[in-house]
């Protein structure tokens, strides 16, 4: 067994897509003395491994659209770099609107996406029946569709980046938990773990909903709340149309897409309190499945194959916190992606490597996601969060 490192040029905490992508891109850019720490026994075991696997360009924020453009471009070449199969499928994403109040914001979002070179289409109600004949579109007013949105396997992305990072010299550890930090003045100089201490002057917190816990160890208030979200995968659903897209009812926060021979479906509970409960709520599952069957009637003949709960990491404006924290030199945060972290993991790992090695992110300007916005109160929420 490789000896646990006593020092590192950078320590990345969190073994989901954000941490694995960061470790890979740091090593690829020449910083090979990188240590990634994951407290679970396997990489990608928490929020990344529990997500629906969607990737989409359809956001209301220009920065999020730009992140999607770059991430999806990277995912489309993943078999070449880092060299791993991820079951990428461009099924398309169809947003459906049932509330007049959502129409102006979504029209503006589609116009913004078009301006940025993304070919999202605005669809009138009469255009929808032919696209999704098996979906009950009663009450639907309009939709937006992008055929270059889709799905891929989250665990394969994590292990692809982790394997690439290891091959370049990075150290990837599991079953190791951070217990504290040591500072020299206002700068970090050591990470304390259950396996020993690591001397370092650069720490990346890529720990999703658990990031506030690490922030408290550093005396930094990180405004992220954990919120439970549930998913069901059904047994086989014979007759589901070929090319069925990822369908999402915006107001209802209900979605479904093909998953193997069945369907994966989720519905967000707007009254879910913050917390770390990962048990499935059977009462909410019944509400969810009842509405899912109403919208996709063929689900009435399917059973539940599996179900689980995971955590969204919610910030006050549903945008991530990305970059250094002003309170402690050498500490960088990439967390709070509010349900769309998986799809932005590839590019955000590159941006974090650029920040650490080149002084600032260069491929995409993410300055609006800086921690300081919470100090000034200058918040501009992302609308397309489910």
pLDDT band, residue 107 (cuts 50/70/90):
very high
Do both 160 and 170 map to the same domain? yes
> Of 260, 288, 314, at which residue does a domain stop?
314
The angle at the Cα of 269, spanning 265 to 270, to the nearest 5 degrees, equals 140
pLDDT band, residue 1 (cuts 50/70/90):
low
d(CA 71, CA 163): 19
Q: Is the pLDDT of residue 52 over 90?
A: no
Q: What CATH number did the domain enclosing 242 receive?
A: 3.30.9.10
pLDDT of amino acid 41? 94
Choice among 48-57, 205-214, 223-232, 315-324 with the minimum mean pLDDT: 48-57
Do both 219 and 230 map to the same domain? no
> Of 281, 296, 314, at which residue does a domain stop?
314
On whether residue 69 sits in a domain, the answer given is: no
Range of the domain at 210: 10-51+154-224+317-376
pLDDT band, residue 362 (cuts 50/70/90):
very high
pLDDT of amino acid 5? 96
pLDDT tens-digit readout, 271-317? 999 999 999 999 999 999 999 999 999 999 999 999 999 999 999 99
Q: Helix count (H) and strand count (E) of the chain? A: 8, 19
Q: Is the pLDDT of residue 31 over 80?
A: yes
Choice among 42-51, 104-113, 120-129, 199-208 with the minimum mean pLDDT: 42-51
In the chain, % of residues over pLDDT 70:
100
Do both 199 and 329 map to the same domain? yes
On whether residue 303 sits in a domain, the answer given is: yes
Do both 258 and 305 map to the same domain? yes
pLDDT of amino acid 129? 85
Q: Which residues pair with 123 in a beta bridge?
A: 143
Summary mean pLDDT of the chain:
96
Q: What is the DSSP string of 249-304?
A: ETTTTEEEEEETTEEEEEE--TTPPBS---S--HHHHHHHHHHHHHHSGGGGG--E
Average pLDDT over residues 250-265: 96
Do both 293 and 323 map to the same domain? no
pLDDT band, residue 99 (cuts 50/70/90):
very high
Q: Is the pLDDT of residue 381 over 90?
A: no
pLDDT band, residue 342 (cuts 50/70/90):
very high
pLDDT of amino acid 86? 97
Do both 141 and 206 map to the same domain? no
Q: How many domains does the chain have?
A: 2
pLDDT of amino acid 48? 82
On whether residue 124 sits in a domain, the answer given is: yes
On whether residue 75 sits in a domain, the answer given is: no
Average pLDDT over residues 98-124: 97
Question: Residue 226 in contact with residue 336, Cβ under 8 Å?
Answer: no
pTM of the predicted model, to two decimals?
0.96
pLDDT of amino acid 385? 84
Do both 254 and 301 map to the same domain? yes
User: Which of these, 56, 45, 57, lies nearest to 19 by C-alpha position?
Assistant: 45
Question: Residue 205 in contact with residue 215, Cβ under 8 Å?
Answer: yes
pLDDT of amino acid 383? 82
pLDDT tens-digit readout, 139-179? 999 999 999 999 999 999 999 999 999 999 999 999 999 99
Average pLDDT over residues 49-65: 93
d(CA 130, CA 52): 25
On whether residue 42 sits in a domain, the answer given is: yes
Question: Residue 150 in contact with residue 246, Cβ under 8 Å?
Answer: yes
Question: Residue 59 in contact with residue 320, Cβ under 8 Å?
Answer: no
């Amino acid at each position: 067994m490789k000896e646990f490192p006593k020092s590192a040029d950078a320590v990345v905490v969190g073994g989901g897509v954000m941490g694995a992508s960061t470790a890979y891109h740091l090593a690829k850019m020449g910083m090979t003395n990188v240590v990634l720490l994951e407290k679970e026994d396997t990489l990608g075991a928490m929020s990344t491994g529990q997500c629906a696997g969607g990737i989409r360009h359809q956001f209301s924020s220009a920065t999020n659209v730009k992140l999607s453009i770059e991430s999806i471009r990277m995912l489309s070449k993943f078999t070449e770099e880092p060299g791993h199969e991820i079951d990428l499928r461009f099924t398309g994403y169809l947003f459906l609107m049932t509330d007049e109040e959502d129409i102006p914001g979504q029209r503006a979002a589609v116009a913004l996406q078009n301006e940025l070179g993304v070919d999202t289409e605005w669809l009138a109600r009469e255009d929808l029946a032919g696209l999704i004949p098996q979906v009950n579109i009663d009450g639907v007013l309009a939709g937006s569709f992008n055929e270059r949105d889709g799905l891929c396997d989250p665990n394969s992305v994590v292990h692809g980046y982790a394997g690439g990072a290891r091959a370049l010299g990075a150290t990837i550890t599991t079953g190791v938990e951070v217990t504290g930090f040591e500072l020299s003045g206002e700068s970090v100089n050591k990470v304390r773990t259950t396996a020993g201490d690591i001397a370092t002057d650069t720490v990346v917190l890529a720990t999703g909903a658990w990031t506030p816990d690490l922030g408290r160890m550093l005396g930094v208030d990180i405004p992220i709340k954990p919120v439970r979200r549930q998913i069901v995968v059904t047994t086989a659903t014979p007759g589901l149309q070929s090319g069925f897209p990822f369908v999402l009812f915006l107001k209802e926060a209900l979605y479904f897409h093909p998953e193997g021979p069945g369907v994966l479906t989720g519905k967000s509970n707007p009254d879910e309190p913050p917390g770390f409960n990962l048990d499935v709520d059977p009462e909410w599952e019944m509400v969810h499945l009842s509405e899912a069957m109403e919208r996709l009637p063929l689900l009435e003949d399917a059973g539940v194959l599996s179900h689980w709960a995971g955590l969204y990491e919610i910030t006050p404006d549903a945008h991530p916190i990305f970059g250094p924290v002003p309170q402690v030199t050498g500490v960088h945060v990439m967390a709070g992606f509010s349900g769309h972290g998986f799809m932005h993991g590839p590019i955000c790992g590159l941006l974090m490597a650029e920040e650490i090695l080149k002084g600032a992110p260069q491929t995409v300007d993410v300055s609006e996601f800086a921690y300081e916005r919470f100090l000034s109160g200058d918040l501009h929420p992302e609308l397309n969060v489910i």
